[in-house]
Structure 1
Amino acid sequence: MLYKELAEKIVSEVRRLLDEDIIVVDINGMIIASTNSIRVGTFHEGALLASQRKEKLIISEEDQAVLKGVKAGINLPIFFQGNVVGVIGITGKPEAISPFGEIIRKMTELLISESYYTEQFDWQSRSVEAFLLDWFYLKEWNERFIDRAHLLNIDLNINRQVMIAEVTQDSAFLHRDVWLSILSWHEKGESEVISRWGNNRIIYLLCPQKQKTNYSRNKAKRFQQFLTECLKTDVSLGVGLTISPTEITQSYHQAIRALNACKTNRHLIFDEDLALDMILDEISQQTKDDFVQRTIEPLLSDEELVLTLKTLIENHFSLKNTAHTLHIHINTLHYRLKKITELTNLNPRNTDDLFVLYLAIQFLDN
């Protein structure tokens, strides 16, 4: 409970209030942290007595000659959940430092309590994430798996729909306070599960309600909006189909596929709405790389031509809108398209060639 790193943090925090020597001692009377490094690892009889008696012990200058390893000051037992977990000692004239005693004790106990609940929270988060990973990839359930589900209060008897959110921040985006807000989302059902998923993703196991039309779609939209407001950044959300608990892997992979299909202007996609993306997702990355090299590789050194081709696709192949978006004259656009044809032998005005160029751009973005 009172480990060395936490003890050193306590010493550092208390030192901000008092310019005195401070020690933190375990219940066996051994000093585990101190402003005076020489004292670390030595025995402190006064702290041991304070721990055993469960009360503050004032040490006078006379006591220094009687008790082993002590200096004049006060020793305060530290309580957590009704038990003494250590002692904090402050060197100095007892009459000068005693008025600060209860404040220091309370502050120390708050630090220990915060550390404990942070550890419990981290353990719970890691355990749920690890369990879900096993659930998605475990071919057969064994007794241990079922016991873990029971321990984590996860119901294995109801249908689920997997949603995966991805945020545009680094791995530090989910600090504890933000994560607690996400876990306590007021619309999260009793049997539903929310978990961190890697560095920048959040997974949500929704329990759909058949009697409510568009229940999942509406809730997914609200969850995405909630995350966007909570994290203050763009959030993409992919949603799989509703699946029985033994086949949840399907919904998971569908959610991943839908998430991969999310575009800049489409932050929420349901797998059931996918068409072409279903096929593209099945193509290996090596095949995609080879396809790009065989088609638009000559363009890759010219960012202007690549941008022109992308803009043409984004504007649904409208030359007028493409020229307007690029802020260029229509004749300039015609010149660039002609250059693309010369370099790739693919003509954007030809339907077959245009489809090849479209695929190449999709693979390039991937």
Structure 2
Amino acid sequence: MYELTHNQAQTIVDRMMMDIPYNINIMDHTGRIIGSGNKRRIGTLHHGACKAIRQGQTVEIHKDEELVKKGINLPIEWNGHIIGVVGISGEVTEMRPFGNILKSAVILLIEQNIALEKANLKNNLKQEFFSLLIDSDTTYTKELISQALTYGIELTKSSQIIYVESSSEIAEDMMKSLPSFRMSNYSLCIVVQETDKIEALQQTIANQYPNAFISISKMNDTVSEGMLQAKLAMRVLKGVYFDVKAISYSQCEFIADILKLHKNDTKAERLIHSLEKDDELIKTLQVYLSCNLNANVSADRLMIHRNTLNYRLQKIHSITGKDPKHILDLVELICMLIKRIK
């Protein structure tokens, strides 16, 4: 049997008493007050409600008595059970229309809460399934393969992952025709098993969320491997590139795999701390990389003199001990940029 809570009942009472100048009480299925305009009465037994529950019908009290005040008490029924009572104090003839309004409000709230609980349960089951799917230790059993079909995923087929991060909240049903899973309010994972849809899908995302970052995995036999690739590519995108919004794992596979192999690299962590407070130097390094180490193009893009660019690169060398113009040192600096992204 559905049970009304104190928070639900008090919310209704507070809202309705803003418009109705009479005291309102809401009682649970035992007749105990769980919401009231008179907070001191919460937790006490309401005798008019107890009578309404026993009789299974509206109880009108026409004059004040020792234990009850005049007013009207209407039982709230749900699925054939009385789950509570709503009462309003005052002259019965005046209270009748208010009582029916209150009763309808409670029933409406119950319907909304049940719908919300069902939606939350559905979302929780979906997220539990996806957490299992992106776990590299998960085996594709017959049961899991069958469950995946309910979300539009054929685990016997290869798939690609599109991973999206945005500064604004992303709608989970953004891609209604494709299986998508919310990683957070600002990130979404889309499972794609038809490669010819990737380009159009990427454009759709970019149109709806112009500031979003998009990373795309390679085709993989498991969703977990695709998710790993997409997240590594996202770190490369946000760490290394400046003013670029999309990347595929195949574009950065080498550096992404270095990152995967050296995930506990303390040297890169130390380099991060040496530059983390200097956004200008980080931006300079990102643009220098984006321009394929071309000093002239980099200086133009940064709108600075080439000598200023060289000064900044030398400063990076001085602070980190790594020379951006030296290929091996540059690889370490790239790893440092990526390590900044969590």
TM-score, normalisation: structure 1: 0.74
Q: Where do residues 136-175 of structure 1 align in structure 2 (5 Å cutoff)?
A: 136-137=134-135, 138-140=137-139, 146=144, 149=147, 153-154=150-151, 157-158=154-155, 159=157, 160-168=159-167, 173=169
| CA–CA separation in structure 1 for the residues paired with 2:326 and 2:161 | 40
| CA–CA separation in structure 2 for the residues paired with 1:141 and 1:345 | 48
1:89 CA drift (Å): 0.7
Query: Does 2:215 align with 1:238?
Result: yes
SS at match of 1:86: strand
Contact 2:269 2:339 in 1 (8 A): yes
SS at match of 2:134: helix
Contact 1:54 1:77 in 2 (8 A): yes
Identity %: 23
> Which residue does the alignment assign to 1:14?
16
Change (3 A) 1:225 1:291: same
Query: Does 2:183 align with 1:201?
Result: no
Deviations 1:118-154 (A, max 9, x none): 22212221221112212332534678x659938x944
| CA–CA separation in structure 2 for the residues paired with 1:87 and 1:316 | 73
1:353 CA drift (Å): 5.0
Aligned counterpart in structure 2 of residue 283 of structure 1, from 240, 244, 261 = 261
| CA–CA separation in structure 2 for the residues paired with 1:248 and 1:112 | 39
| CA–CA separation in structure 2 for the residues paired with 1:346 and 1:219 | 40
Deviations 1:88-138 (A, max 9, x none): 111112222323233222222222222222222122212211122123325
SS at match of 2:198: helix
Output the amino acid matched with 1:77.
Answer: P
| CA–CA separation in structure 1 for the residues paired with 2:214 and 2:277 | 33
Output the amino acid matched with 2:98.
Answer: F
Deviations 1:324-356 (A, max 9, x none): 444433333344445555666655455555555
SS at match of 2:95: helix
Change (3 A) 1:134 1:6: same
| CA–CA separation in structure 1 for the residues paired with 2:145 and 2:90 | 54
Aligned length in residues: 334
1:164 CA drift (Å): 2.9
Contact 2:25 2:35 in 1 (8 A): yes
Change (3 A) 1:11 1:225: same
Query: Does 2:245 align with 1:257?
Result: no
Gaps of 5+ in 1: none
SS at match of 2:20: coil
1:24 CA drift (Å): 0.9
> Which residue does the alignment assign to 2:197?
215
> Which residue does the alignment assign to 2:299?
323
SS at match of 2:76: strand
| CA–CA separation in structure 2 for the residues paired with 1:164 and 1:266 | 15
> Which residue does the alignment assign to 1:25?
27
| CA–CA separation in structure 2 for the residues paired with 1:357 and 1:334 | 16
Output the amino acid matched with 1:188.
Answer: K
The alignment's C-alpha RMSD in Å is 3.7
| CA–CA separation in structure 1 for the residues paired with 2:152 and 2:84 | 40
Aligned counterpart in structure 2 of residue 74 of structure 1, from 60, 72, 75 = 72
| CA–CA separation in structure 2 for the residues paired with 1:135 and 1:305 | 40
Contact 2:127 2:181 in 1 (8 A): yes
